[in-house]
Every structure is written in C-alpha cells, then in structure tokens.
Amino acid sequence: MRYSLILFLIFIFFVTACSATIDLSKDPRIQSNNSAQKQVERTDWKDFELKDINTGKYFRINDFKDKPVLLESFAVWCPSSIRQQRATKELHDELGESFVSISLDTDPNENEEKVKKHIERNGYAWKFANSPADLTRSLISQFGVDIVNAPQAPMILICNGQVRMLEKGVKSSEDLKKEIVMCM
C-alpha cells in the first residue's frame, strides 16, 4: 500500500511539473524595454548566432537553407522534452543527415553546463544551444508564448523557406518523418 502511494505521488509530481501553467511574466527573456524590443524586431530569429554546445562551433539557423530544419524549444528538466528528443534521435538514426535538428534550451535557469550534461547522458549528436534572451523574445513575438512552454514539446519546421509550428505535444519519429519527407 505504501509503495503504491509513493508511486502515485511521484506520478502526480511529474504530471503537474510538466502540465502546470507557467508564469512567464517574470521571465527576463520575455520582458523587454522599447529599445530592446525594436532591436529584436529588426533581427530575424533565424539570424541569431548560436553556439553548438556539442561542438563549440557557432551557427545560425539560416545557415541550413538547403535542408529541412526541426527547431525544438526545450528544458532539460521536462519529461515531455526528453520524450520528444528520443523521437528525434530515432529519426536521426533512420534518416541520418538529410535534415537538421536544433534543440534550443529556452529555460533561463539552465546554462551550457546543464545542457552539456543532458546531451552526454542521453547520447544526442545534433545541434544544441542555449537561447539568448533576444532570440527567445523574437520567437515569442512570432509564435506566442507556447514556443517556450517545454511541456508542450514545441517544434518549428523550416521547409523550403516556409516556417510553421508543428502541433503541440510529443511527436513520434514517424510523424516527424512524414513532415521531413514532405520537405524533400
């Protein structure tokens, strides 16, 4: 009986941790003054310079115009993000380098070291970066706050110059494959 109660409490913790409404009003990445907001509006979010935590090399999302790009907003603490990344890993195992994955950590409380440990612990080989505050604001400006709500497993597909947010929730590797194949 006691074991069941403990399992139930753990389950409730994970469900509420990843389904609770997140108060983004205090997030410094979202708050901005007028001059910072004007700068963000002039900069396309695909042109921000990002550091690939896996390789240490710098890149821009616009560097990959020749391939479909899956951009994921995530947090290392979120089980939904981890499930989404497992599906992405399966997709990479199947399709190889025919598309580009970028996992963008949008949690301002996480740093490069936390993300690096997450990558190593899970054996991920694609591009991971911490989102600069201005990039996060730019994404929110275009897609709304859902783009930084890790429990919803937000993903953007960039396909032949077209950009769209995929459905909320964890997408299977098969669903992602269908999206990528339509881009090729």
Closest of 87, 83, 67, 75 to residue 136, by C-alpha? 75
Contacts of 170 (CB under 8 A, 6+ apart): 80, 83, 84, 87, 153
pLDDT of 21 > 70? The answer is no
**Per-position DSSP letters for the chain, written without gaps between them:** -HHHHHHHHHHHHHHHHHHSPP-GGG-TTT---HHHHHHHHHS-GGGS-EE-TTT--EE-GGGGTTS-EEEEEE-TT-HHHHHHHHHHHHHHHHHTTSSEEEEEE--TT--HHHHHHHHHHHT--SEEEEPPHHHHHHHHHHH-GGGG-GGG--EEEEETTEEEEPPSSPPPHHHHHHHHHHH-
Q: pTM here?
A: 0.77
**β-pair partners for 159:** 162
| Max Cα–Cα distance, the chain, nearest Å | 59
The pLDDT of 4-17, averaged and rounded, is 46
pLDDT tens-digit readout, 122-173: 999 999 999 999 999 999 999 999 999 999 999 999 998 899 999 999 999 9
Closest of 68, 131, 54 to residue 100, by C-alpha? 68
More confident residue, 115 or 44: 115
Q: Supply the pLDDT for residue 74.
A: 96
Q: Supply the pLDDT for residue 32.
A: 46
What homologous superfamily is domain 51-183 in, according to CATH? Glutaredoxin (3.40.30.10)
Domain ranges across the chain: 51-183
> What's the rounded Cα separation, in Å, for the pair 168 and 151?
9
pLDDT of 6 > 50? The answer is no
